[in-house]
Amino acid sequence: MLRFTVVAAACAASSASIMPQFSSWRQDSSSLLAFSPSSALLLPQSRLSSTCSFVKPSSPPTARCRGMRFVRPGSLRMSGGEMNMKPINVKPSKHDLETGRDPTRVKVFDTTLRDGEQSPGCSMTSDEKMQVAKQLARMGVDVIEAGFPIASNDDFLAVKQIADVVGNYENPPIICGLARATEGDIRRCADAVKGARFPRIHTFIATSDIHMEHKLRKSREEVLKITKQMVTLAKSLVDDVEFSAEDALRSDRAFLAQVFSVAIKAGATTINVPDTVGFTTPTEFKETIEYLRKHTEGIEDVTISVHGHDDLGMAVANFLGAIEGGARQVEVTVNGIGERAGNAAMEEVVMALHVRKSYYNPMFGRPADSNDALTNIVLKEIHRSSRLVTSLTGMMVQPNKAIVGANAFAHESGIHQDGMLKNKLTYEIIDASTIGLDNSDGIVLGKHSGRAAFKARLADLGIVLNEDETNKAFIRFKDLADKKKEITNADLESIVNDEAQDLAANRFKVMHVQVTCGISMVPTATVTLRDEKDDLELTDASTGTGPVDAAFQAVNRLCGIQGGGQANAADVKLMEYSVSSVTAGIDALGEVTVRLQDPRSGRVFLGRAADTDVVVASCVAYVNALNRLILQRSDLAPKLHPQLSVAGKAI
């Protein structure tokens, strides 16, 4: 923070003429403020250093207004390392102006659909990505990185659909695609995002010596040349270009500043500083951002962004350190999903800024007690977003995870419970309702509820379905209401997420499941599957180590699949099987997640299902995962049991 800004009385009129007003940005005309024309930052007097000394300017002040004095930066004597620190860019972007967002905020760049989806087994279909994108827009994220268009035709189409739909909402986020610093990647990315009102190309190249030598096999001079050429190309295709220096935190700082200077001169509007391998510490990240603010040409005119992984468990802390250093965009994922140990968790960064607002406010030129939000995130949508991503990816949240874990607001200690009963603030710094987890989330609908009440409740939850999706979900709801006395919001969300899975690729459908098991009994399952492709409906039975294993083996027999177990994986290997309860109670819905691996390609495929009968849910989840695997394996064409195919057609 610059400590040489002029102390002056309030002048709301003058500052307003320089900085436009926004619906989410207010200034208190009664506060004592200071203004620096070089940085366009309003700073409370309490943040000014008493050691700052003034030198008489060679010319008169450029302007005066009710006691406010504008002083040329060159007429001030600064102390220590802040002498060459360039101001943080707070000029409103086109997106800020058209959506009324506070230009001084921390921008939230969500990469759940790109980096988050790179977690093993977390791949989503186009329809599932669209669900997540709609929820991210509802939550108020500023940028959605929708995918890596060059990776596959499916990824390209998913990014394009999100750009065309979500990118044209009334208050839309920026829709971004990732591209390597190659012409083919950048042009493909531009084609994918061009349908959005605010498209962005995010291009990158590695800058650390180890990456340049062993991965790129290019010199520093070549990297600088490529950066200039590719950012220039991207800028010719879209107005908004983000440039990332891969493995920035292990790069030589002087070279890093040089690369960013070239990128900014070529037209980059955001520069991203990634901790690609989760290597740095909060202090190092802060110091790196401050170094770049001193040595990067033009950095005062662009947004400084940060990206990081959680390999050492410090991703969120690193981001907060970077924000203190001057970063104003954070690249995060819902639930912190991502490659290896994951990315910085969106909910943790956002809530840290919210809860510790009095600490961070002065760094944004605000009074410590200001209640203005530091991000554009709608906090009440955080829990719903977490649940949706969990449901669609099958990546369960650990119970003790901050903010969205099942135990985040649970108290068992007698001392804690006593304090909570007297005053929640004794042991809770966040009210659960702040993130959309309401204690009134009890009985919301029952078996006598009609379609109108069902649709109204979905609307209250912010769930938007078309008529066909609503009809399918309503049928599931009525079936569940016959089995379960109390239907909760969580049940409804689970039903909707289950029905909204991409069924277009589902070749096999579970029609019937029956199991017998118990002490001194051989677990046996009878399963009926329908093959939509060959128009067959057949039944087979199998034994197993338990009822679920027996059901899986029966499915394998019907489909002609060899595998399903750890030791027998010619075609399919079961990597993960997990069951979780949606709500409390003996009649709760059980959500099952199954991950199958294709032994040939190593790819992992997810299947999930929910039912009050966990064996049924397990069988359906297994078949859902199998359908996805079969779709990707052109050489694997399973058919229902060949000896039964003739009989099946006769039936």
Q: pLDDT, tens digit, for every residue of 414-457?
A: 544 455 455 566 667 888 888 887 654 444 577 677 778 788 77
Model confidence at 459, pLDDT cuts 50, 70, 90, reads confident
**Helix or strand (DSSP H, E) at 606:** strand 604-611
pLDDT of the residue at 322: 98
pLDDT of the residue at 102: 97
Residues 6+ apart with CB under 8 A from 399: 405, 406, 407
Note whether 306 and 322 are within 8 A (CB): yes
Residues 563 and 604 in one domain: yes
**Which residue did the predictor score with more confidence, 432 or 111?**
111
pLDDT at 236 over 50: yes
pLDDT at 126 over 50: yes
Note whether 143 and 200 are within 8 A (CB): yes
Q: What is the percent of the chain where pLDDT is above 70? A: 76
Task: Confirm whether 6 is domain-assigned.
Answer: no
Residues 496 and 572 in one domain: no
pLDDT of the residue at 462: 67
Structure tokens at 392: 């669609």
Residues 179 and 257 in one domain: yes
pLDDT of the residue at 563: 67
Could you tell me the sign of the dihedral formed by the alpha carbons of 92, 95, 97, 100, in that order? negative
Q: Which of 362, 378, 393 is the last residue of a domain?
A: 393
Q: Kindly report the pTM of this predicted structure.
A: 0.74
pLDDT at 64 over 50: no
pLDDT of the residue at 590: 84
Task: Confirm whether 268 is domain-assigned.
Answer: yes
pLDDT of the residue at 425: 61
Helix (H, G, I), strand (E, B) or coil at 581: strand
Structure tokens at 12: 């709301």
Residues 210 and 323 in one domain: yes
Note whether 523 and 535 are within 8 A (CB): no
Residues 341 and 457 in one domain: no
Q: Tell me the HSE value of 230 on the side-chain side, using a 13 A CA sphere.
A: 28
Number of domains in the chain: 3
Q: Which of 53-67, 279-293, 498-512, 562-576 has the highest mean pLDDT?
A: 279-293
Instruction: In whole angstroms, give the CA distance from residue 298 to residue 267.
Output: 10
The residue segments making up the domain with residue 611 are 505-636
pLDDT at 313 over 80: yes
Among all chains, which residue has been given the structure tokens 């007698």?
Answer: 414
pLDDT of the residue at 649: 37
pLDDT of the residue at 449: 74
**Which residue did the predictor score with more confidence, 474 or 216?**
216
Rounded (5°) CA angle 455-612-478: 30
Residues 371 and 487 in one domain: no
Residues 167 and 269 in one domain: yes
Task: Confirm whether 237 is domain-assigned.
Answer: yes
**Which residue did the predictor score with more confidence, 56 or 115?**
115
Task: Confirm whether 477 is domain-assigned.
Answer: yes
pLDDT at 11 over 70: no
Among all chains, which residue has been given the structure tokens 């006691």?
Answer: 67
Instruction: In whole angstroms, give the CA distance from residue 332 to residue 310.
Output: 11
Mean pLDDT value of segment 20-35: 40
Q: Which of 500, 531, 566 is the last residue of a domain?
A: 500
Q: pLDDT, tens digit, for every residue of 526-575?
A: 999 998 888 889 899 999 999 999 999 999 888 877 766 554 567 788 88
Domain CATH number, residue 313? 3.20.20.70
Note whether 182 and 231 are within 8 A (CB): no
Note whether 270 and 95 are within 8 A (CB): no
Q: pLDDT, tens digit, for every residue of 469-502?
A: 788 888 878 877 776 666 777 777 777 766 655 5
Residues 198 and 303 in one domain: yes
Model confidence at 100, pLDDT cuts 50, 70, 90, reads very high
Domain CATH number, residue 547? 3.30.160.270
Model confidence at 375, pLDDT cuts 50, 70, 90, reads very high
Q: Tell me the HSE value of 355 on the side-chain side, using a 13 A CA sphere.
A: 16
Average pLDDT, the chain: 81
pLDDT of the residue at 122: 78
Please state whether 147 falls in left (phi above 0), alpha (psi between -120 and 50) or beta: left
Q: What is the percent of the chain where pLDDT is above 90? A: 52
Residues 612 and 533 in one domain: yes
pLDDT of the residue at 296: 98
Radius of gyration of the chain (CA): 28
Note whether 621 and 627 are within 8 A (CB): no
Model confidence at 268, pLDDT cuts 50, 70, 90, reads very high
Mean pLDDT value of segment 233-247: 98
pLDDT at 132 over 90: yes
Note whether 553 and 525 are within 8 A (CB): yes
The region of weakest confidence among 68-82, 144-158, 402-416 is 68-82
Please state whether 100 falls in left (phi above 0), alpha (psi between -120 and 50) or beta: left
Integer angstrom CA distances of residue 225 from 71, 212, 218, 246, 265: 39, 13, 11, 16, 12
Q: Which of 358, 375, 393 is the last residue of a domain?
A: 393
- Phi first, then psi, for residue 540 (nearest 5°) are -150, 165
Q: At how many degrees (to 10) do helices 183-193 and 153-165 cross? A: 40
pLDDT of the residue at 482: 74
Task: Confirm whether 573 is domain-assigned.
Answer: yes
pLDDT of the residue at 528: 95
pLDDT at 128 over 60: yes
pLDDT of the residue at 578: 87
Residues 273 and 333 in one domain: yes
pLDDT of the residue at 473: 82
Q: Which of 586, 597, 596, 594 is nearest to 620 (CA)?
A: 594
Task: Enter the DSSP assignment of 532.
Answer: T
Task: Confirm whether 34 is domain-assigned.
Answer: no
pLDDT of the residue at 557: 87
pLDDT of the residue at 489: 74
pLDDT at 644 over 80: no
Task: Confirm whether 566 is domain-assigned.
Answer: yes
Q: pLDDT, tens digit, for every residue of 356-366?
A: 999 999 999 99
Residues 271 and 158 in one domain: yes
Instruction: In whole angstroms, give the CA distance from residue 522 to residue 512.
Output: 20
pLDDT of the residue at 423: 59
Residues 244 and 323 in one domain: yes
Task: Confirm whether 649 is domain-assigned.
Answer: no
pLDDT of the residue at 41: 42
The region of weakest confidence among 106-115, 359-368, 395-404 is 395-404
